[in-house]
């Protein structure tokens, strides 16, 4: 939790930036003009909630399905592929001239239980490759990018091989990452292929260790000439944790040296421990995001900037981080009435937000 002194200081500097006392160019010096802004979208709301749908049309140049392209959505059972939600999101992107990202091919989360019955290396390998070939192939040439690997590291990772014990890791071993990237590249050579992680941006040993473990894992893939084009930093920022500015810069430099672009893939700011006052809270949220984005952007322009949802009305944050005072979380760039917040002004300094 921030001390009162820290709170006032950070709040004041944020307001100064927002009111123009600090030149906005100081943040966006490398230019955000061509980096698309976008958001994760919920297929069930597309077309059903018109305010939501129009807000996406207004502000986003790129989208990713929040759900719909996960294994559990696409593969209710071994024999079936269900593309209903995935196709809905893909059509919405095409109809509105937006770029599209696929999410995700290799992740420990929300796996259908039947995959646990895959026994032996070759059965698992066949299933993984078939899935990637079918799913990536379906959207061939229509994807800007795919999150091929999501959250590979265990929470307390120190080394590159401190990996989640997924079905793929248990049956195939670490080679499944290379296999997945190669299969995705073969199925759609035009899509940028990304590895994505969280909890690498704060001050503290656990975050530093995770940053170094991720760097080592990425280096291993690049050294093996695996077709990987970018690293995604999710950016579910915990508002009361300090950003490790130096550590992030170093990470961005290491990725640049490896020839990889950095995207911010799931930005939102978790505000459960921030003060209740809405103006102060929105300013602190925006300021945390500014510190994070500035560190990355100083090394190289952020390739694309996506938030995990667009409005406070629909966000995963209260599932895990409800406020004790009963007030609603405010993690996203638009209010629940679709009004742009200070966070949106910050985002616009690093990416192309339309309709402001």
Told to check if 339 binds ligand 9MR by CB under 6 A, we report: no
Of 121 and 314, CB closest to ligand 9MR? 314
Q: Helix or strand or coil: residue 309? A: coil
Of 136 and 147, CB closest to ligand 9MR? 147
Instruction: Pick one of 24, 67, 112, 275: the residue that binds ligand 9MR (CB under 6 A).
Output: 67
Distance from C-alpha of 8 to C-alpha of 132, rounded to nearest angstrom: 49
Q: Which helix (H) or strand (E) holds 267?
A: strand 261-270
Told to check if 355 binds ligand 9MR by CB under 6 A, we report: no
Of 83 and 316, CB closest to ligand 9MR? 316
Residue nearest to ligand 9MR (CB): 316
Q: How far is the CB of 268 from ligand 9MR (least distance, A)?
A: 9
Told to check if 48 binds ligand 9MR by CB under 6 A, we report: no
Of 2 and 143, CB closest to ligand 9MR? 143
Angle between helices 245-257 and 278-297 (to 10 degrees): 40
Told to check if 314 binds ligand 9MR by CB under 6 A, we report: no
Distance from C-alpha of 154 to C-alpha of 161, rounded to nearest angstrom: 9
The answer to whether 336 and 13 have CB atoms below 8 angstroms apart is: no
Burial of 162 (0-12, 13-18, 19+ CB in 10 A): middle
Structure tokens at 191: 């899509």
Instruction: Pick one of 10, 32, 66, 269: the residue that binds ligand 9MR (CB under 6 A).
Output: 66
Distance from C-alpha of 344 to C-alpha of 39, rounded to nearest angstrom: 12
The answer to whether 179 and 168 have CB atoms below 8 angstroms apart is: no
Q: How far is the CB of 45 from ligand 9MR (least distance, A)?
A: 12
Told to check if 275 binds ligand 9MR by CB under 6 A, we report: no
Instruction: Pick one of 83, 114, 316, 321: the residue that binds ligand 9MR (CB under 6 A).
Output: 316
Burial of 251 (0-12, 13-18, 19+ CB in 10 A): buried
Q: How far is the CB of 233 from ligand 9MR (least distance, A)?
A: 11
Told to check if 110 binds ligand 9MR by CB under 6 A, we report: yes
Q: How far is the CB of 266 from ligand 9MR (least distance, A)?
A: 5
Q: Within the chain, how many helices (H) and strands (E) appear?
A: 12, 9
- Interface residues with ligand 9MR (CB under 6 A)? 66-67, 109-110, 150, 234, 266, 316
């Amino acid at each position: 939790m921030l001390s009162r002194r820290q709170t006032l200081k950070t709040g004041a500097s944020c307001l100064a930036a927002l009111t123009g006392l600090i030149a906005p160019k100081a943040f966006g010096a490398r230019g955000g003009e061509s980096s698309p802004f976008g958001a994760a979208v919920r297929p069930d709301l597309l077309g059903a909630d018109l305010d939501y749908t129009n807000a996406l049309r207004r502000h986003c140049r790129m989208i990713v399905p929040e759900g719909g392209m996960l294994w559990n959505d696409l593969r209710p059972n071994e024999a079936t592929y269900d593309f209903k939600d995935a196709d809905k999101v893909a059509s919405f992107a095409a109809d509105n001239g937006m770029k599209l990202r696929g999410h995700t091919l290799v992740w420990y989360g929300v796996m259908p239980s039947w995959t646990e019955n895959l026994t032996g290396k070759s059965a698992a390998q066949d299933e993984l490759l078939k899935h990637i070939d079918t799913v990536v192939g379906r959207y061939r040439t229509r994807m800007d990018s795919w999150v091929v690997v999501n959250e590979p590291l265990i929470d307390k990772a120190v080394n590159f091989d401190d990996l989640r014990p997924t079905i793929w890791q248990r049956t195939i071993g670490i080679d499944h990452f290379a296999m997945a990237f190669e299969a995705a590249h073969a199925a759609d050579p035009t899509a940028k292929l990304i590895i994505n992680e969280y909890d690498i941006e704060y001050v503290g040993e656990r975050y530093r260790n995770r940053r170094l473990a991720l760097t080592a894992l990425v280096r291993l893939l690049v050294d093996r000439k695996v077709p990987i084009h970018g690293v995604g930093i999710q950016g579910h920022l915990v508002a009361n944790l300090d950003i490790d500015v130096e550590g992030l810069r170093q990470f961005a430099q290491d990725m640049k040296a490896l020839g990889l672009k950095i995207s911010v893939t799931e930005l939102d700011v978790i505000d459960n421990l921030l003060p209740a006052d809405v103006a102060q809270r929105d300013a602190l949220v925006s300021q945390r995001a500014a510190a994070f984005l500035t560190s990355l952007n100083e090394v190289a322009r952020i390739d694309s900037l996506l938030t995990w949802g667009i409005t406070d009305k629909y966000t995963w944050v209260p599932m895990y981080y409800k406020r004790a005072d009963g007030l609603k979380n405010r993690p996203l760039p638009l209010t629940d009435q679709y009004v742009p917040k200070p966070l949106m002004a910050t985002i616009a300094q690093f990416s192309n937000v339309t309709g402001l």
